[in-house]
């Protein structure tokens, strides 16, 4: 069956976020080093980027490296960073040709210079594109992001630029890495794990969660379509009752 045909075009999520999990297990089950799983995960990245562009999804955020991932063995961290450089370099032209705009969230200053340079180059090169916004979460965690926002807000209060009486959810959002990005409507996590793992903690408040059994290196367009179809069958109520929906625009007001 052509799953793509089951997707309702005018009910697409604007923003899909993905926790790409299961690379290590995929490689180890084949008797290979964990990095082999990460290398093969790049094909899955290409598949979801391509599928998102074809469908007309506006934002796709990929959790590529968490703050906690720095604690992995040095060799794995180095291999992952090397893979980032290689992949971004190899894909920049193709992203550009497909009108994809690349951005990133996270503590980018902590990345090795080669990754930062390649990433900056790709972000600059694709900055004028108007199709899919591909957001890489690198050295990112939700608690880090909220803590950074809090620190900046306190600094601004001390400088007299922010009146504490004006602090509300809208103001806090302007200090997050995602200030110009709508909250994800759909979060996909692969590999059967059912956790958020410190990803977009603020932004996922009303997000639909979808857990796939497929390990990330095996994740293909059809798996992505399945997640979107499942999402489109859900009732999203934002704390309201079903009868209120459809009669007015429902936006989470915090």
Binding to ligand FPP by residue 25, rule CB under 6 A? yes
Distance CA 151, CA 219 (A): 38
Binding to ligand FPP by residue 32, rule CB under 6 A? no
Binding to ligand FPP by residue 106, rule CB under 6 A? no
Of 21, 23, 177, 223, which is the active-site residue?
21
Binding to ligand FPP by residue 223, rule CB under 6 A? no
The question of whether 161 is a catalytic residue gets the answer no
Binding to ligand FPP by residue 118, rule CB under 6 A? no
Question: Nearest to residue 17, comparing CAs of 192, 99, 137?
Answer: 137
The question of whether 40 is a catalytic residue gets the answer no
Of 32, 69, 98, 121, which is the active-site residue?
69
Q: CB 75 → ligand FPP: shortest distance, Å?
A: 13
Please identify, among the stretches 36-44, 125-133, 157-165, 176-184, the one whose residues bind ligand FPP according to the rule CB under 6 A: 36-44
Residue for token digits 């090795």? 112
Binding to ligand FPP by residue 136, rule CB under 6 A? yes
Q: CB 203 → ligand FPP: shortest distance, Å?
A: 19
Contact with ligand FPP (CB under 6 A) among 3, 81, 83, 229: 83
Binding to ligand FPP by residue 87, rule CB under 6 A? yes
Footprint of ligand FPP on this chain (CB under 6 A)? 20-25, 34, 38, 41-42, 45, 62, 64, 69, 80, 83-84, 87-88, 136, 191
Would you please indicate which residues are annotated as catalytic (active-site) residues? 21, 69
């Amino acid at each position: 069956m052509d799953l793509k045909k089951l997707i309702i075009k005018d009910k697409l999520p604007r923003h899909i976020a993905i926790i790409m999990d299961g690379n290590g297990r995929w490689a180890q089950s084949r008797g290979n080093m964990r990095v082999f799983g990460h290398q093969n995960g790049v094909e899955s990245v290409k598949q979801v980027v391509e599928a998102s562009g074809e469908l007309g999804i506006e934002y796709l955020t990929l959790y590529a490296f968490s703050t906690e991932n720095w604690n992995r063995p040095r060799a794995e961290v180095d291999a992952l960073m090397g893979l980032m450089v290689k992949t971004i370099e190899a894909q920049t032209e193709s992203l550009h040709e497909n009108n994809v705009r690349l951005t990133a969230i996270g503590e980018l200053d902590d990345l090795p210079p080669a990754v930062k340079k390649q990433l900056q180059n790709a972000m600059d090169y694709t900055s004028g594109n108007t199709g899919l916004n591909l957001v890489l979460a690198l050295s990112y965690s939700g608690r880090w992001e909220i803590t950074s926002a809090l620190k900046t807000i306190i600094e601004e209060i001390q400088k007299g630029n922010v009146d504490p009486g004006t602090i509300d959810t809208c103001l806090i959002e302007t200090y997050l890495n995602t200030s110009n990005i709508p909250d994800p409507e759909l979060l996909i996590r692969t590999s059967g794990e059912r956790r958020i793992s410190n990803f977009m903690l603020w932004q996922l408040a009303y997000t639909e969660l979808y857990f796939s059994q497929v390990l990330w290196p095996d994740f293909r367009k059809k798996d992505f379509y399945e997640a979107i179809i499942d999402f489109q069958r859900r009732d999203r109520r934002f704390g309201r009752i079903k009868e209120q929906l459809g009669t007015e625009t429902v936006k989470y007001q915090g």
